[in-house]
Amino acid sequence: MDNITIKGLTFEPYISHEEIAKQTERVAAEVKRDCATESPIFVCVLKGAFMFAADFFRAINMPKSEIAFIRYKSYSGTESTGEMNKILGLNDDIEGREVFIIEDIVDTGLTAHALRSDIEAMNPKSVKMVTLLYKPESLKIGKVPEYVGFEIPPKFIIGYGLDLDEQVRGLRDIYALKKDE
Ligand code: IMP
Ligand code: MG
């Protein structure tokens, strides 16, 4: 795989689609094993998690499970703005249900924390976080996610749903910003 340049920044190959698929299968198997009910609801956090959520939802293969979508925005360029804006809320009735939040990445934890409190306020049976990527060194607030595909250092990454100012979400592999830039 080659480096790619976008908006004047150089990114190098970091996680291949084969590795992503393998860890997605592993995480899906763990979640399935731990499910207390047959019909959990998976809440995909748009936009970044859409690709992982689709692959995870296929991998878990639970016919009575459901998928829902929610949207927050906290990022601008390569930095978290630290402010949370809810753009699309949850209309599904989740009271008494087993809920799994599906995230692309947990960085400062701000989004995950806000999501958990909003969802907990809707009285579900339980709420757990499934994230493809987790940057433990960047976590500032909230819980460690229960299910993690990859723990990574605090690099800025793109691809497989993750964007740089809305671009490059369609890359099938994950790329990391080169250190010297
Ligand atoms: P947090 O609220 O700081 O934990 O960030 C969560 C959101 O910021 C994620 O759902 C992503 O959309 C975005 N984000 C965090 N780190 C990265 C990254 O390295 N690349 C692209 N987006 C990121
Ligand atoms: Mg996101």
Q: For residue 25, which of 60, 51, 53 has the smallest C-alpha distance?
A: 60
Residue 21 reports pLDDT greater than 80: yes
Give residue 1's pLDDT.
82
Tell me the C-alpha distance between 20 and 154, whole Å: 18
Give residue 87's pLDDT.
57
Is residue 43 in contact with ligand 1, taking CB distance under 6 Å? no
Question: Which domains are delineated in the chain?
Answer: 4-177 (3.40.50.2020)
Tell me the C-alpha distance between 75 and 167, whole Å: 13
Q: What is the DSSP string of 129-160?
A: EEEEEE-GGG--SSPPPSEEEEE--S--EEBT
What's the 9 CA to ligand 1 centre distance in angstroms? 18
Q: Is the peptide bond before 47 cis (omega within 30 degrees of 0)?
A: yes
Is residue 106 in contact with ligand 1, taking CB distance under 6 Å? yes
Which strand (E) or helix (H) includes residue 178? none
Kindly report the pTM of this predicted structure.
Answer: 0.92
Residue 77 reports pLDDT greater than 80: no
Closest approach atom of ligand 1 to CA 109: 4
Closest approach atom of ligand 1 to CA 49: 10
Q: How far is CA 10 from CA 154, 161, 177, 178, in A?
A: 17, 18, 6, 6
Tell me the C-alpha distance between 40 and 124, whole Å: 10
Specify the residue for token string 């296929």: 58
Give residue 92's pLDDT.
73
Give me the helix-helix angle, 17-34 and 50-60, nearest 10°.
Answer: 60
pLDDT band at 86 (very low <50, low <70, confident <90, very high): low
Closest ligand by atom to 80 CA: 1
pLDDT (tens digit, 9 = 90+) per residue, 120-158?
A: 988 999 999 999 999 999 999 999 999 999 999 999 999
Task: List alpha helices for 47-105, DSSP H.
Answer: 50-60
pLDDT band at 82 (very low <50, low <70, confident <90, very high): low
What's the 144 CA to ligand 2 centre distance in angstroms? 16
Is residue 138 in contact with ligand 1, taking CB distance under 6 Å? no
Query: Is 107 in the active site?
Result: yes
| Encoded tokens for 41 | 């609801």
Our separate counts of H helices and E strands in the chain read 3, 10
